[in-house]
Amino acid sequence: MTITIYHNPKCGTSRNTLALIRNTGAEPEVIEYLINPPSRDKLVELIAAMGTPVRALLRKKGTPYEELNLDDTKWTDDELLDFMMAHPILINRPIVVTSMGTRLCRPSEEVLDILPLPQLGEFTKEDGEKVIDAEGKRVNNAA
């Protein structure tokens, strides 16, 4: 069983997602995508596997999104991909790939729907929100 996470260790959502994966006992392949960005072909493959429009993967906060005027609908999918290749910080994260699917895990609890193994115990996010109880079950207030 292979689990891959496109991860930014500076991102709390990405850290929480990685911790939820590890809470199953699995050790995923961690790709720090700002250091080792996916190829254009791989990014296209990930977007297709998520079934999401290219534009939906663009990250706005903390990126050159506004200065590049990426809100403008004139940009084609190919052009948006060009921007993501030139500025990997524009790729929203974390993206997780498992045998059960590929998903942008925002919020981090989204990963629970594609993990092939159950949670092994309690999990609380960095902000103090409890997601998994002591029996490994999802807490009702979790997304």
Phi-psi region of 101 (alpha: psi -120 to 50; beta: other; left: phi over 0): left
Question: Cis bond leading into 94, ω under 30°?
Answer: yes
Residues marked as catalytic: 11
Residue 29: partners with Cβ closer than 8 Å, 6 or more residues away: 2, 3, 4, 5
**Which residue is associated with the tokens 């193994």?**
117
